[in-house]
């Protein structure tokens, strides 16, 4: 699986969104996801537009915005269309099916209306996937262009995502390819099918042997772009503050894109 190209994996994928993302990555030559963790909608939209040419996915936390309005989703979708990337709302749903169905489709955020992808904790078991899918049945237009990533393993220090939890989360991902495009994980072990995409956060340049700090003081643990792709099996690497705290976010995104893509090419050519 790790030696296969994104195009070859897209051929094997049984989830339509996973195939679409793998093809997008191959065509656009990028495996970078930028996490736009800023507090104002305008700043997030500006960031998305600036980094747009270098990313395959733009990841949001809309519940951290001070000024979220119904305009945000459609505006972000316009930018995504211009630059050809997918939008992931990192909601990390984690409740019973009925509740997540409400949270996904309704409320202020109406996530299902604008986010191509969402993240989901495995904790509640298969019912959480049923809940999200049932919500989409009422938004029929989107049944075919929505999918989720299951959080199997977290990047932060002392996370409770143990090996056995992780392995159960992988089984859930494998059995629900109808709606699961990938997993959020720190390593590739046990990821069964070539179609499942590994999304790996906790990425920042200048770590793994170099002086820059490998944590953020609040438990986040960082690895370098090369390390996550070559040693941890990341397909898509998530960079947040590595880009948002850089003096020029477009330059920073290009820098990370180059490092990550080079590492991917090295991985598939070995
Ligand atoms: N994220 C993690 N670790 C996980 C899952 N998700 O850091 O296990 C998300 C965070 C944040 C981004 O919610 O949006 O990835 C990482 O941002 P950073 O690069 O600024 O640390």
Question: Tens-of-pLDDT digits for all 270 residues of the chain?
Answer: 999 999 999 999 999 999 999 999 999 999 999 999 999 999 999 999 999 999 999 999 999 999 999 999 999 999 999 999 999 999 999 999 999 999 999 999 999 999 999 999 999 999 999 999 999 988 777 778 999 999 999 999 999 999 999 999 999 999 999 999 999 999 999 997 999 999 999 999 977 766 567 889 999 999 999 999 999 999 999 999 999 999 999 999 999 999 999 999 999 997
- Ramachandran angles phi, psi of 92, nearest 5°: 45, 60
Taking alpha carbons only, the member of 95, 177, 86, 167 closest to residue 128 is 95
Do the interacting molecules here have an ipTM over 0.95? yes
Q: What is the 8-class DSSP label of residue 124?
A: T
**Distance, CA 202 to ligand 1 centroid (Å)?**
6
> Do residues 236 and 199 lie in contact, with contact meaning Cβ atoms separated by under 8 Å?
yes
* Fold annotation for 1-269: TIM Barrel (3.20.20)
State if residue 157 touches ligand 1 by the CB under 6 angstroms criterion: no
**Distance, CA 72 to ligand 1 centroid (Å)?**
21
The pTM (predicted TM-score) of the whole model is: 0.97
Helix then strand count (H, E) for the chain reads 11, 8
Catalytic residues: 90, 92, 95
Domain residue spans in the chain? 1-269
Q: What is d(CA 38, CA 35) in angstroms, rounded to the nearest whole number? A: 9
Residue 159 alpha carbon, nearest atom of ligand 1: 8
State if residue 5 touches ligand 1 by the CB under 6 angstroms criterion: no
Secondary structure of residue 117 in the 3-state scheme: strand
Q: Looking at the DSSP assignment, which residues form a beta bridge with residue 118?
A: 89, 148
């Amino acid at each position: 699986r790790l030696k296969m190209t994104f195009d070859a994996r897209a051929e094997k994928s049984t989830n339509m969104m996973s195939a679409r993302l793998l093809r997008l990555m191959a065509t656009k030559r990028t495996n970078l996801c930028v996490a736009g963790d800023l507090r104002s909608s305008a700043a997030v939209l500006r960031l998305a537009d600036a980094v747009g040419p270098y990313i395959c996915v733009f990841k949001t936390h809309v519940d951290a915005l001070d000024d979220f309005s119904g305009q945000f989703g459609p505006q972000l979708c316009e930018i995504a269309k211009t630059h050809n990337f997918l939008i992931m709302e990192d909601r990390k749903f984690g409740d019973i099916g009925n509740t997540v169905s409400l949270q996904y489709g309704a409320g202020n955020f109406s996530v299902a209306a604008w986010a191509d992808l969402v993240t989901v904790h495995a904790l509640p078991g298969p019912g959480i996937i049923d809940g999200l899918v049932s919500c989409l049945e009422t938004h029929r237009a989107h049944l075919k262009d929505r999918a989720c990533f299951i959080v199997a393993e977290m990047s932060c220090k002392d996370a409770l995502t143990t090996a056995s939890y992780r392995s159960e989360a992988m089984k859930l991902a494998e059995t629900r390819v109808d709606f699961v495009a990938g997993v959020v994980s720190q390593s590739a072990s046990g990821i069964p099918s070539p179609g499942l995409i590994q999304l790996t956060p906790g990425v920042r340049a200048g770590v793994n042997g170099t002086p820059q700090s490998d944590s953020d003081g609040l438990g986040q643990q960082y690895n370098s772009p090369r390390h996550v792709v070559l040693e941890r099996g990341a397909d898509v690497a998530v960079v947040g503050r590595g880009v948002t705290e850089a003096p020029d976010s477009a330059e920073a995104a290009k820098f990370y894109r180059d490092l990550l893509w080079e590492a991917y090419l090295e991985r598939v050519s070995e």
